[in-house]
Structure 1
Amino acid sequence: MLKTLYTAGLFIAATCMFGNTAKAQLKGFSIGPYVEAGTPVGDFKDTHNTGFGGGLNADIKLIAGFGVTGSAGFMYFPGKSYTYLSGGGTELTAKAESLKALPVRVGLKYKFGFPLLYVKAEGGTATFVGGDGDNYKGTAAIFAPGLGIRFLGLDVEAKYEVWFKNDNRGFFGLKAGYNF
């Protein structure tokens, strides 16, 4: 939790720094809520169902189509029942623990050619909350490339996001938000 707050503080400090030192380059600032859904892939899909979450997103427009972006929120992936083989070859059934996390992401955004379309790459941390098992405690690193469209204040993005900790947890996501 402390790392999440620290990362969010760094994002806010960077926002203030860009806002005060680069006023000539700054084209605008927007902030707003978002919701997202994520479909697990790989081994993660064997143990968890489609997740959902929400949070707050911010964008700082710079020059030549570039921008800085960041978000902080909550993500939940419900666990599902799965089967596995025991050491003796017996098939057993278990239910995976639900995964709850507080992802904080910062990154770069680039609007190219067609002004509504953009590409984005973000990194950050996902702090697991409420978990009992070792896999659901601590903090994971995040990498999330995406492609989106923004029309007026509506922002819709398709992305792939992976969380790096003991084992990787990846998902395809769809994120929709409104920026003021």
Structure 2
Amino acid sequence: MKNKISLFIALLLVCSVATQAQLKRFSIGPYVEAGFPVGDLKDTHNTGWGAGLNADIKLVAGFGVTGSVGYMQFGGNTVNNVEYDKIAAIPVRVGLKYKLVSILYVKVESGAANFVNSNITGSAFIVAPGVGIRVLGLDVAAKYEAWFREGTMSFFGLKAGYNF
């Protein structure tokens, strides 16, 4: 009998914490992402990877503000005996989210990719529309991201994170 009561209390506690996580107006947490180059970037660079910190603020009527800062790197490739160096950047993004249904959302982000550890200097303008699902704290999204600087570097991305 004590085990059943303990199990019931533990279940109530888990449900309470899960409900609180869904009702919060602000969340922050780490993420990892993979970038699959398209266009000219596909010819010169390999699949990229990244990690960072993401934050969300819920507004009204399903709208929210999102922002992230991280590190993204695409490995260089050799094409016709021409060696391309890796591209490494610190992308800083802000954007708007709209919740379509309870767990499904669309978003568009913009910002700057500040290049580091590569032959490219300066920064690029970012535009990144995407779609994702969020269940409790788990957030998984797919996006198309384009970096504009003397041409376009673009990729499809998959991002997974956990927001507290």
Residue 120 in 1 paired to residue 107 in 2? yes
TM-score (norm 1): 0.77
Residue of structure 2 in register with 1:82 after alignment: 79
8 Å CA contact 1:161–1:172 kept in 2: the answer is yes
Aligned equivalent of 1:162, options 124, 128, 146: 146
8 Å CA contact 1:74–1:101 kept in 2: the answer is yes
Residue of structure 2 in register with 1:105 after alignment: 93
CA RMSD of aligned residues (A): 1.1
Aligned equivalent of 1:37, options 34, 40, 60: 34
Which one-letter code corresponds to 1:174 in the other structure? L
Moved over 4 A (4+): none
Q: Deviations over 1:106-163 (max 9, x none)?
A: 0000001x2100000000000000123xxx1110000000000000000000000000
Aligned equivalents of 1:101, 1:74: Cα separation in 2: 6
Ranges in structure 2 where 5+ consecutive residues have no aligned partner: 1-22
- Sequence identity percentage: 65
8 Å CA contact 1:52–1:76 kept in 2: the answer is yes
Which one-letter code corresponds to 1:173 in the other structure? G
Which one-letter code corresponds to 1:97 in the other structure? D
8 Å CA contact 1:107–1:120 kept in 2: the answer is yes
Q: Deviations over 1:71-127 (max 9, x none)?
A: 0000000001112xxxxxxxxx11101000000000000001x21000000000000
Ranges in structure 1 where 5+ consecutive residues have no aligned partner: 1-25, 84-92
Aligned equivalents of 1:155, 1:131: Cα separation in 2: 30
8 Å CA contact 1:34–1:177 kept in 2: the answer is yes
Aligned equivalent of 2:155, options 161, 168, 171: 171
Residue 129 in 1 paired to residue 121 in 2? no
8 Å CA contact 1:65–1:110 kept in 2: the answer is yes
Residue 59 in 1 paired to residue 56 in 2? yes
TM-score (norm 2): 0.85
Residue of structure 2 in register with 1:139 after alignment: 123
Aligned equivalents of 1:130, 1:41: Cα separation in 2: 22
Aligned equivalents of 2:121, 2:65: Cα separation in 1: 29
Q: CA deviation at 1:27?
A: 5.8
Answer with 1 or 2: which has the greater Rg: 2
Residue of structure 2 in register with 1:150 after alignment: 134
Q: State the number of aligned residues.
A: 142
